[in-house]
Structure 1
Amino acid sequence: MPCALCGDIIPTDVARCPACGAWARRRDFRAIGMAVFMLLGFNAFVALGCGLSLVRLQEPLRLATRDTYDAAVTARALAPYCDVFLVCGVLAGITGLLYLAWLWRAHRQSGPHRYGRAWVLLGWVTPVVNLWLPARIVYDVWLGSGRPLRPAERHAAALVVAAWWSSVLLGAGLARVFTGLGVQSLAEARFCVHVGVAAAACQALAAASCMATVFHITRRQLDGA
């Protein structure tokens, strides 16, 4: 298989790359990070495309009046976006499983940590706790990877993690609200489209911010290896 660091071909029975000396564990961790990074990028593009498409629906609704508005036509136009948000949720779940595999290894290779390794998984499924603990764990892994961060770098890392987790919660909540809204009146249709745009924007921002956490944590751990 090719080395993830230098591209040289490594025999399957060799633990280190003959060209750059990278360990197989290091290669595998970078490979998982790259896979998560690309999947997150795909998530971001899908959400961004959905949001831009919804923005285009705002103009006809802005020009419509009570007399010209057709609720049935608007409902048919918005129905596919409910399916898109469902697909985005499924894709985010698949990406999340791979992200947890990456985070599990990143947590093991960094430290010290305020929370034990079991919370890397339990923090996502424990009620109430899962509203804040995943972000805290990612931030701790970021701080514990590589060299100590300067105060400005710590603040930047905290800002990225906060943007990521806030966008995740808002995006999930707004998408759920969007799928439950009605469009019987013109005002309801306009509000529904605005909520959909906000949900897509939050999901795109969440994916982009998560890409930043994966990139920086993976780079710091590889540089410190």
Structure 2
Amino acid sequence: MPCALCGDIIPSEVARCPACGAWARRRDFRAVGVAVFMLLGFDAFVSLGSGISLLRAARPLHDATHDTYDAAATGKALAPYQDVLLIGVIMAAVTGLLYLTWLWRAYGQSPGPHRHHRAWVLFGWLCPVVNLWLPPRLVYDVWVNSGRYRTAERQAAGLVVAGWWGCALLSVLLARMFGHGSVDTLSDARFDVHVGVAASAFQAIAAALCMATVFHITRIQVEHD
């Protein structure tokens, strides 16, 4: 198999790359990190594209008046975008399964100390209320414990993690609002479109910030082999 660090071909019976000396365990971890990074990039691209498409599809609303507005036609035009946002949430959930595999290994490879047991890497996403605040704390702990950081660097990492989690929660909330929005009046339709665009934008931003956490944690842990 090719080495994930230098690209040299490594025999299956060899534990380390003969060219760069990387351990197979680290190679596998980097491969998982790259897969998560690429999936997140795809999610961000789809979310951004759906938001731009929704803006273009809603252009007739800017020129419409209360006399010319057709609620039935508008509802029919916006219905597919509700499905697109739902698909985006499903894609994020699928990406999350691989992300949890990556985070489980990243937690085990970070030296610590950790404020929470490793089991919370999984249960922290499933427990109600707890899953609103624990996952970003776990990711932050893994990030700052994977290397030596100054105070300013720790604060920057905290801002990235907080921004990622805040945008992710907002995107889910706004997507639900868009799905249950009303197009009975012109003002309701315009508001619903803005909510849908905001949901797509926050999904894209959340995916991009999550990519940053995956990239930096994977890079640091691989380099400190």
Shorter chain as denominator, the TM-score bin is over 0.9
Q: Residue in 2 aligned with 1:156? A: 156
Q: Residue in 1 aligned with 2:183? A: 183
Where do 1:100-111 residues align within 5 Å?
100-110=100-110, 111=112
C-alpha contact 1:57 1:193 (8 A) present in aligned 2: no
Secondary structure class of the residue paired with 2:124: helix
C-alpha distance in structure 2 between counterparts of 1:59 and 1:95, whole Å: 32
Unaligned stretches of 5+ residues in structure 2:
none
Q: Residue in 2 aligned with 1:134? A: 135
Q: How many Å apart are 1:58 and its aligned residue? A: 3.9
Q: How many Å apart are 1:90 and its aligned residue? A: 1.2
Q: How many Å apart are 1:210 and its aligned residue? A: 0.2
Q: Which runs of 4+ in 1 moved over 2 A?
A: none
Q: How many Å apart are 1:59 and its aligned residue? A: 2.8
Return the TM-score normalized by structure 1: 0.98
Map Cα deviations across residues 17-57 of structure 1 (whole Å, 9 max, x no partner).
11111100000000000000000000000000011111223
Secondary structure class of the residue paired with 1:124: coil
Identity across the alignment (%): 69
Secondary structure class of the residue paired with 2:39: helix
Map Cα deviations across residues 70-96 of structure 1 (whole Å, 9 max, x no partner).
111111110110111111111111100
Q: Residue in 2 aligned with 1:115? A: 116
Q: Residue in 1 aligned with 2:20? A: 20
C-alpha distance in structure 2 between counterparts of 1:143 and 1:103, whole Å: 14
Q: Residue in 1 aligned with 2:35? A: 35
C-alpha distance in structure 2 between counterparts of 1:58 and 1:159, whole Å: 34
Unaligned stretches of 5+ residues in structure 1:
none
The more displaced of 55-64 and 112-121 is 55-64
Task: Output the aligned Cα RMSD.
Answer: 0.8
Secondary structure class of the residue paired with 2:203: helix
